[in-house]
Amino acid sequence: MTKKVYKRRDFLKLSACGLAAFSMHSCMGGSILGPDSSFTFVQLCDPQLGFGGYDHDLGAFRQAVRQINAIRPDFVLICGDLVNTPDEKSFADFNRIRADISAPCYYAVGNHDAGNNPTIESLEYFRKLIGKDYYSFEHKGYTFVIINTQLWKAPIEKESEKQDAWIKTTLEGASRKGSQIFVVCHSPLFLDNPEEAEQYFNIPVEKRREVLTLFEKSGVVAVLGGHTHSLIVNNYKGIQMVNGETISKNFDNRPLGFRQWHVTELKQIRHDFVALEAF
């Protein structure tokens, strides 16, 4: 069942089945989270330098960095579209401002970063100036998997297959350890309904079905993305799917800002909207 919600605070709690599954993983050798396992992180969407006006977007990004540093999250996740036009200047400006974030910062690649129809050359350009387009890291018993949704939207021979194999191996490895999983990407799998037709903002239906099945099987608890320039919150079989507000330009008249996620012991998860000050 899919439900879309528009709220400034959205809560996610594990179902009884999820807790039972976690207990079983613990008996099989997974670690049990303790009192020091709580943490916070920021979901920042579409800095997209140049989309809302280049100087405006530079200022908004700097303001977001100031506010993020003030709340001191464990880390920051940037959900793609780092820039509007992928060139040396915009990527250099992005890197310069990102370097001022005091917490570790991770990013996903967006369609504006690699192209609506990415090529080997555009991917290599991104990798050279920014870094990897898919990878993972662990934090306090959770696994964060960053993926390139452009390789699903507009597949590249060998590159898309390589990422898919890596995702499957990474999710299986996290699942075996009893680690619950956040997926970080750019494009949402769907907007309103898992069976909706493909359009600009989602990914192809057959790939979507394949990915949703894999995510459900692997114990993914949330999928974080950007791209929509509107707040979209869905729930698919207990998996929260949150495409947040941007810091460049929103299409739904919501204020510019980012989301702060809170993960507590016992795996309670919530997220709040933080508006940019003076924007």
Q: Where are the domains of the chain?
A: 9-26+38-275
Which class for 165: exposed (0-12), middle (13-18), buried (19 or more C-beta within 10 A)?
A: exposed
How far is Cα 46 from Cα 42, in angstroms, rounded to an integer? 13
Mean pLDDT of 244-267: 94
> Is pLDDT above 50 for 1?
no
Q: How does residue 30 score in pLDDT terms, banded at 50, 70 and 90?
A: very low
pLDDT in tens, 127-162: 999 999 999 999 999 999 999 999 999 999 999 999
Look at residue 250 and tell me whether its pLDDT is greater than 90.
yes
Residue 35 has pLDDT above 80, yes or no: no
Among the CATH numbers 3.40.640.10, 3.30.1490.20, 3.60.21.10, 3.30.420.40, which is that of 9-26+38-275? 3.60.21.10
φ, ψ of residue 162 to 5 degrees: the values are -65, -45
CA–CA gap between residue 204 and residue 35 (Å, rounded)? 41
| Angle (deg, nearest 10), helices 54-71 and 88-98 | 20
Long-range contacts of 27-33 (CB under 8 A, 24+ apart): 28/178, 29/177, 29/178, 30/177, 30/178, 30/179, 31/141, 31/178, 33/140, 33/141, 33/265, 33/266, 33/267
The helix or strand, by DSSP H or E, that contains position 223, with its residue range, turns out to be strand 220-225
